[in-house]
Amino acid sequence: MSAKGRPQSYRGKSHMKGLESPDDLSDKDSLLDLGPTAPPPEDPNVLTVGIIADTEVTLGFLLAGIGFRRDNQNSYLMVESDMPQEEIESFFEQLYRMHNLGIIILDFPTHKRLKSVLDKCKNMLPVVVVVPNKATLGPYQEWKGRKHIREQDM
């Protein structure tokens, strides 16, 4: 410890090479190396994720870094209760036809609305994952339980 109570390794601002603020740093002078950046979604070797869910679920995934918007094209749709069925179905079909989409995340109410469309989907990719939201956690657990029992009977 130094006389000022700081560890000996403390360098103050001297390690910033005379810069007044971190905003003055260029990419090559960065103090924090975050490693390679994620490849852009248009890379054919990278599978992306699509989301069709209510606002809370969609925002949660977007905050986690899942989903993108590029050239006025989204990989997500925030479903409102009064949204027309045709709009949801056409967006799902658009996602389903994307060549670089690996997963489509649906919340439970949207899954129920898209049941007739989902029954026609036979491709291995994209994988459709159903997640509950706050309002449907109870019914979702009952549905999963019934589905599990049916699978055991087969």
Give the pLDDT score at 5. Answer: 55
Neighbours of 105 (CB within 10 A): 23
Q: 127 CB contacts (<8 Å, ≥6 apart)?
A: 102, 103, 104
Neighbours of 75 (CB within 10 A): 23
Find out whether 1 and 7 touch, Cβ atoms under 8 Å: yes
Give the pLDDT score at 138. Answer: 75
What is the second-level CATH architecture of the domain 48-153? 3-Layer(aba) Sandwich (3.40)
The pTM of this model reads: 0.64
| Integer Cα distance of 58 and 70 in angstroms | 17
| Integer Cα distance of 154 and 141 in angstroms | 20
Structure tokens at 56: 């809370």
Give the pLDDT score at 89. Answer: 96
| Integer Cα distance of 26 and 35 in angstroms | 16
Give the pLDDT score at 58. Answer: 95
Closest CA to 104 of 134, 128, 71, 88: 128
Give the strand pairing for 73-74 and 69-70. Answer: antiparallel
Per-residue tens of pLDDT for the chain, all 154 residues? 555 555 554 444 444 444 444 444 444 544 444 445 454 556 778 889 999 999 999 999 999 999 888 888 889 999 999 999 999 999 999 999 988 899 999 999 999 999 999 999 888 889 999 998 888 877 777 877 777 777 777 6
Q: Specify the amino acid at residue 135.
A: A
